[in-house]
Structure 1
Amino acid sequence: MKSSEVTNRAIAAEIAEDLDDIILAAQWLQRQETADYSFADFLNLFFSESLRNVLDSLGRVLRQQGSFDQAEAILQRCYVLEEALGDQHSLRITLNSLGLVFQKQGRLDEAIEAFQQVVEISQTLNDQRQIAIGSNCLKEVLQQQGRV
C-alpha cells in the first residue's frame, strides 16, 4: 500500500504514532554507550505488535470500503505477523476478516477454511463467543454453497 492510499485519518494517526515511537527508540539506542540487544529484541516485538495493530485496522477499513484485494493483501501480512508473534487471539480475528473477504470475493472454499480455523483456535482458547461467531460465518458460507 502506498502512503497516498491511506485516506482514513484514524489509520494515518496510528501509523504516524508508531513511526514516532520507532524514531524515538532509535534515537535513544544511538545515545547508549553499549549495545543492548535484549532491549532491541523487546523493541522489535513491540513494533511488530504495533504494526500488526495498524495492519489489522487498515485491513478492516479496506474490507468495509469494498477494496477486497487490498484488504486481503494487508490481512495476509497481518496473519504472517501474528503467526510469528504466536498471537492466537489476534490470529483468529484476522482469519475471520480474511474469511469475510474471501466470501465477498466468491472464494467460498477459502472462506470455509478460514472460518474453520477461527472455530478451531477459539475452541483451543475456550472462547465461546468467538466459537459462535466463527460457526455462524461458516454456516452462512456453507448455505451459500448449498451444502446446508
Structure 2
Amino acid sequence: MLAVITLFVTHGDAPHVWHGLTHGVGLLFVVAAVLATLATAWLLTRPSGAWSRVTAVGVVASAVIAWGMAQRPYLVPTSLTVAQGAGAHSTLRRPAFVILVAVVLVFPAVALLNWLDTRGELERLTDTDLRRGAVTDEG
C-alpha cells in the first residue's frame, strides 16, 4: 500500500523520480517488487511459509533498486549528481579498505555463529548466567 501511495506522491512532488519509476529500468524493478510482494503474500498463506523471507528480501531489494534507478544519475534529484557528490579517489580508498577488511573478518564469524545456532550447537543461557553477566557488567 505504501508503495502505491508513493507513486501518487512522486507524480506531483517529484516528477523526475516518478518518470524513472514508470519507465525503463526503474519500471522493471517496480514490476519485480510487485511480483515478489504477490509471491510473499501467497507464501504466507501456505502452512510452512517456506521461502517467504527470501521473497520479502526480494521486495525490499527491488524497491530500493527501483528508487535508485528512478533518480539516476542524481543523488538529490535534479540538483546533485553522483559524480558531483562523490569524494576524491584518495578519500574513498580508506573506507573501501575498511569495508573489505570488515567483510573478510566479520562475515565468516557471523556465518559460523548462524550455522552453530541453527544446528543447536550453542548452549542456551539460563537465568543464573544472565544474572551473573549483569553483576559482572555492573561491578
TM-score, scaled relative to structure 2: 0.39
- Using CA pairs under 8 Å that are at least 6 residues apart, name the structure with larger relative contact order, 1 or 2: 2
Q: Structure 1 length normalisation: TM-score?
A: 0.37
